[in-house]
Amino acid sequence: MTFFNQKEEVIQIELTQYGKYLISRGKWKPAYYAFFDDDVIYDGRYAGVTETNAVGVERIKTTPRVKTQYVFTGIEEQVKKNLELIKETKINFDSALLTPKSDKHYVLSQRIGSSILGDKNAPAFSINLLKGQISSSTIMQTGDMPNLKIPLLELENTSYTLSSQRPNIDSGDINSFNTPVTFNDGTSIYVKDDYLLIDIKEDNVEDLMKNFDIEMFIVETDAETGEENYTQLYFDQAFEDYKNGILLDPEKMSIEDQKYIEDQKTQDQLRAQNYFNITTDYQIDKNLICKLINKMDNKNSSQYDPGFECDDVMSREATVEKDRRLETLYDPSLTEKDIKKC
């Protein structure tokens, strides 16, 4: 570890181990950058120093700065640990090269943010639960890492309903039963889903249409020490499917290759989609949002803005439902029993 020569050096860029791996596979594609100032003390009082503003500025400019550090854990130790996990099929090769947890939480954890120019208000989050309940909250994230000012919201558990018989479906029930799972002996299980629907907005910042990143972790508590261990899950990325070291084209993939890739992904214990189905923004059904808004009390529903007119959405849904019912009247698959029910 060395210091910058302030007369000759200004910036240094280093690739992490995972970055080097991506370059070797032709998959390195930088998308954004961030700045950090963890090593800068802006106010000398936090270091027990009394100084004027002019002296403080000069101190910040002349203080030696350490060059870029890109490895924070023993490489040999990490390789041995990952090889064991790969042998146990708990992770795949790509996941083994991702940045270790300690790198992410102990260093480069608090990048410099941004706000709207000229706005006196600091960036803030607005969170509404259209489906679900908050049971508790804390302001700071604590544990075996530096304390970070990250609000933590504890939500009440969602519940799933299983039924061995075809349930009576309430037309007004937003949670519907999925298509039954049928076994070889002819028996079936009906599953009624539950879910969370959260609306998150960031105020007093530029709306870049992509202001959020979603990360998922498995939290395991050590039985002896009580320490919580976080294992990050990862989402599927485009153009990441390989077979025998060859990149497969999604549009030209054979049925055999598709099955091979799906089997590989299903066995990956660090794949987020193996645990949850997550939809965001325009992937979420507007009809569902409007139905949940209608279930709110008048005070909350009048203050909530989904970004579109629910009256128009519900009107279109009513038209589609009416057309569907007209088609059903002439559906040849209807039995006499179905007609009697009508």
pLDDT tens-place string over residues 294-310 = 877 665 666 677 777 77
Q: Which residue blocks in 93-142 are alpha helix, DSSP H?
A: 93-96, 101-106
Helix crossing, 310-329 with 286-295: angle to 10°?
A: 110
Q: What angle do CA 9, 10, 14 make, to 5 degrees?
A: 90
Per-residue pLDDT, averaged over 232-261, amounts to 77
161 backbone dihedrals φ, ψ, rounded to 5°? -110, 125
Judged against a pLDDT cut of 60, whether residue 144 lies above it is answered with no
Tokens of 231: 């294992």
Phi, psi values for residue 117, rounded to 5°: -60, 130
**Rounded CA gap, 63 and 3, in Å?**
10
Q: Centre a 10 Å sphere on the Cβ of residue 213 and count the other Cβ atoms it contains.
A: 5
Q: Which residues pair with 94 in a beta bridge?
A: none
Q: Please state the length of the chain.
A: 342
Q: What does the pLDDT look like over 172-187, one tens digit per residue?
A: 454 556 667 777 787 7
Burial of 303 (0-12, 13-18, 19+ CB in 10 A): exposed
Q: In angstroms, what CA-CA distances link 154 with 139, 166, 201, 230, 233?
A: 12, 34, 18, 16, 19
Q: Is 209 left (phi over 0), alpha (psi -120 to 50) or beta?
A: left
Reported pTM: 0.60
Other CB atoms within a 10 A radius of the CB of residue 290 amount to 19
Interval 209-245: pLDDT, tens: 777 888 888 888 888 877 777 788 888 876 567 777 7
pLDDT digits (tens, 9 = 90+) for 1-56: 788 888 888 888 888 877 887 888 888 888 888 888 888 888 888 888 889 989 99
Sorted by sequence, the CB contacts under 8 Å of residue 95 that are 6+ apart come out as: 234, 268, 270
Tell me how many degrees the CA angle 58-63-64 measures, rounded to the nearest 5: 150
Please determine, for residue 323, whether its predicted confidence score (pLDDT) is greater than 80.
no
**Count of other CB atoms within 10 angstroms of residue 188:** 14
